[in-house]
Amino acid sequence: MGRIAVIGAINADITVRVSTLPTPGETVTSLSPRTSMAVGGKGANQAVAAARMAAEGYPSPSFAARFGADAQGRELRDAIAAEGVDVSHCASVEGMTSGQGLVFLQESGEVGSVVVGGANSAWPDDVDENSQFYEGLVEGAAVVMLQREIPEHVNEHVAQAAKKAGAIVIQDVGGEDRPFSRSLLQNVDYLCPNESELARLSGGASTATDQDVLAAARALQERGANAVVVTLGERGSVLVPRPGSEQESAPIFQLPVAVPGGVVRDVTGAGDSFRAAFAVALAERRPLEECLKLASAAGAVAVSRLGAVPSLPTRAEAEALLDEKLSPTPPAPSCSEREISNAGRREKSEPSFPLLFGSRLNSMRSRRDLVDDSVSNDVLGWVARQGEVRGLDLVDFNYPQHLRGLATEDVLGALARAGLRAGAVCMRFPEEHFRQGAFSNPSEVVRTAAVQLTAEGCEWAKRLGTDEVVVWPQFDGYDYHLQANYTEAEARMVNAYRAASDACVGVKLSLEFKPTDEAARFSFVPSTGAALLLAERVGRDNFGLTLDFGHLLAAGENPAQSLAMVAGAGKLFGLQIGDGHSRLGAEDGLAFGSVHGAAALELVFWLRTTGYEGHVYFDTFPRNEDPVREAEHNIRRFKALWDRAVKLERNSEVRGALLEYDAMTTLEVLETNA
């Protein structure tokens, strides 16, 4: 079983979200005030993709690259190694910065990018082609993957060494636009362009039809190329065998695999994912038809997610999509991305829906008359009961109330038996210690205790396999006028939340603000605007906000507008939803959309518009209803609203009405399509 060797570039990818790419002389404003940084570069992407696609028992892929002798270089090396990639062939280059990629991500999911080569261009140019240097890079490899973001002489020497060693060579066309030498083409077994690259390489030939694509590929073969594998986006892919082979007259067309969730969100990592999966299947000596199928599935999963490395699927995900069992969800946490990722996935959800669902664990205490006596009335028993909820994915635990005193393995075992995973840990501050506040408490000792308790919650989150911790400081507020010093309270909160964020490295820590509560009639954070200002002053990338539909109603806000504000600031970490008759002065925790139907629809619409990737948590209190049926109803209701939101997105009248603030047009569309 030979390994896969990837030789190529690695970059620190900085992504900017824009509505459209600027034309010459034009300036556009980003959709988000924040950028994100992640591992990038076609070589790094393909190495990580190969590691994630590798079947059990196969050796880890190796990666040969050049880093800058800088902090970014160290971060990039650590990130790629953490994915299980052998980095022993990588080296740092003194006096050079690491490569960078500036990625412009449009709302349509299309991307444009500018690559600054940095250390990627600093490969040795005085190494003779017969040197053991290149032979060492491909030693023991079954498949060698090349791209065009490093000097061409490196590719030529590596390809020659690989052919000498009997390895299969795959050449990605993406990267620098330069002609291929005939000697390189002859040493490449599979040349892999996308549709636009094929047109460019074949002198501007049309690729409008399948026959056009075949003609363009054969034109490359006339210039020395062997087999050509073309990715065609929504049209699928095709492998054109090398001239003179047994399959010369039989191109292999692969229809596209359906994208999970039906929405193309970002094509950044699709080609790299496709080619890595193709390489893995070749290394396993699978038939070419199977190689293309696995590659197509990997590419389909990748385009359903944001980012390059964060979007790359595992082998299980690609195979589950082929088996129509994939739960299309955000990527699992990865150290390759500075913006903290989202909770994991589970195959229980139906393939057509992209978000995960959690529901209030304490609701499972209700209606014990409906539960078999064998199901215990405790945390582990409630988890078992949530396992009966069709469509539920995650369990959010309160800390310390749910978890203190339990063993990690017992909680994980209960989750596994229920077919669920941990979604988040939600902080609850015991009244006996924090009745005067947690993060705003006048006592520094108590504030420190709140930070320590939160750090414990973060450790529990890591042990349970999630990276989300939600803070609800129900006592951080006041009841009377002239009771509190507001500026001092804010300063205390800023410092305490900074300390908590710093104690929770690798975890998304989010504030769930509530404007009023019986524990504090006035919150020190009474609105979305105040919460955003606090997050800005805390100034930590892993500190953001979780919005609660009921809390926003209690604040007199429009939930969708609040969501758009927070998402636009790059601080929307979580979402908790329910409904209620706010006139009663209480958080009723009713079923989602049961009272404020239009507001619920608009919230879901803006979830889609802003590209929300966290999980959806139903914070409801079914005291008289069967909590299992109520949770299932919430899931169905949310999905129905999601489907309506998709239709509204695609309606040109609605898009125009939103820009013109035209209420009547939207109301008429809703009336017609109710």
Can you give the pLDDT at residue 128? 62
Q: How far apart are CA 440 and CA 496, in angstroms?
A: 8
pLDDT digits 0-9 by tens, 107-123:
776 778 887 889 999 88
| Bond from prior residue into 243 cis (ω within 30 degrees of 0) | no
Residue 369 has what pLDDT? 82
Least confident of 11-20, 292-301, 583-592: 583-592
Residue 485 maps to a domain: yes
In a domain, 95, yes or no: yes
Among 239-248, 409-418, 482-491, 500-509, the minimum mean pLDDT is found in 239-248
CB atoms within 10 A of CB 377: 12
Q: Record the tokens describing residue 145, joined without a space.
A: 């993957």
What pLDDT score does 15 carry?
82
Q: What is the pLDDT of residue 458?
A: 92
**How many whole angstroms separate alpha carbon 400 and alpha carbon 195?**
55
> Three-state SS for 3?
strand
Q: Is 155 annotated in some ligand binding site? A: no
Q: Same domain, yes or no, for 315 and 383? A: no
Average of pLDDT values for 42-59? 91
Task: Provide the b/e sequence for 390-417 (b: ≥16 CB within 10 Å).
Answer: ebbbbbbbbbbebbeeeeeeebeebbee
> Does 666 appear as a known binding residue?
no
Residue 555 covered by a domain: no
Total-model pTM:
0.52
Nearest to 561 by CA among 595, 527, 517: 527
First vs last Cα of the chain: how many Å apart?
58
Predicted pLDDT at 48: 94
On whether residue 61 sits in a domain, the answer given is yes
What mean pLDDT value characterizes the chain?
A: 86
Are 383 and 485 found together in one domain?
yes
Do 300 and 371 belong together in one domain? no
> Dihedral sign, CA of 522, 528, 529, 532?
positive
Query: Has residue 330 got a pLDDT over 60?
Result: no
Instruction: Indicate if 396 and 529 belong to the same structural domain.
Output: yes
User: Would 219 be classed as within a structural domain?
Assistant: no
For the CA atoms of the chain, what is the radius of gyration?
27
574 marked as part of a ligand binding site: no
Residue 152 lies in a domain: yes
Gap between the Cα atoms of 531 and 514, Å rounded: 10
Domain annotation covers residue 558: no
207 annotated to a ligand binding site: no
Please state, in angstroms and rounded to a whole number, the distance separating the CA atoms of residues 206 and 203.
9
Instruction: Give the CATH number, domain containing residue 375.
Output: 3.20.20.150
Query: How much is the average pLDDT of 473-501?
Result: 93
Q: Which domain holds residue 381?
A: 357-548+568-579+591-649
CB 63 within 8 A of CB 90: yes
The phi, psi pair for 155, rounded to 5°, reads -60, -40
| Residue the block writes with tokens 């050049």 | 66
Comparing 297-301, 344-348, 511-515, the range with the smallest average pLDDT is: 344-348
User: Does position 233 have pLDDT exceeding 80, yes or no?
Assistant: yes
Query: Edge to edge, what strands does the sheet with 227-231 contain?
Result: 62-64, 3-7, 141-148, 168-175, 190-192, 227-231, 237-240, 252-254
Q: Which of 297, 322, 347 is the last residue of a domain?
A: 322
**Range of lowest pLDDT (260-264, 333-337, 495-499, 503-507):** 333-337
pLDDT tens per residue across span 350-375: 434 788 999 999 898 888 888 887 78
pLDDT confidence of residue 5: 96
**CA dihedral (434, 439, 442, 443) positive or negative:** positive
Q: Are residues 294 and 415 located together in one domain of the fold?
A: no
Per-residue confidence (pLDDT) for residue 580, from 0 to 100: 85
- Of 259-263, 506-510, 643-647, minimum mean pLDDT range: 259-263
In the predicted model, is pLDDT for residue 555 greater than 80?
yes
Same domain assignment for residues 49 and 165: yes
Asked whether residue 139 falls in the same domain as residue 11, the answer is: yes
Average pLDDT over residues 240-255: 77
Share of the chain above pLDDT 70, in %: 92
The CA distances from residue 253 to 141, 240, 282, in Å, are 28, 9, 17
- Whether 657 is covered by a domain: the verdict is no
- DSSP secondary structure letter of residue 34: -
**Binding residue per annotation — 644?**
no
Q: Which residues are catalytic?
A: 272
The answer on pLDDT for 335 being more than 90 is no
Looking at mean pLDDT, say which of 122-131, 155-164, 338-347, 350-359 comes out highest. Answer: 155-164
Query: What mean pLDDT comes out for the span 518-535?
Result: 92
Looking at the 3D structure of the chain, how many domains does it have? 2
Binding site annotation covers 271? yes
Query: Is the domain of 304 the same as that of 418?
Result: no
Statement to judge: residues 367 and 270 lie in one domain: no
Instruction: Kindly state whether residues 302 and 432 are assigned to the same domain.
Output: no
- Residue from 451, 352, 466 nearest 403 by CA: 466
What is the reported pLDDT for 586? 56
> For 433-445, what is the mean pLDDT?
90
DSSP 585-620: SS---BPTTSS-HHHHHHHHHHHHHHT--S-EEE--
316 is an annotated ligand-binding site residue: no
CATH number of the domain residue 154 falls in: 3.40.1190.20
User: Are both 429 and 316 inside the same structural domain?
Assistant: no
Query: What pLDDT was estimated at residue 351?
Result: 39
Task: Flag whether 149 is marked binding.
Answer: yes
The per-residue pLDDT for 338 is 36
- The answer on 489 and 620 residing in a single domain is yes
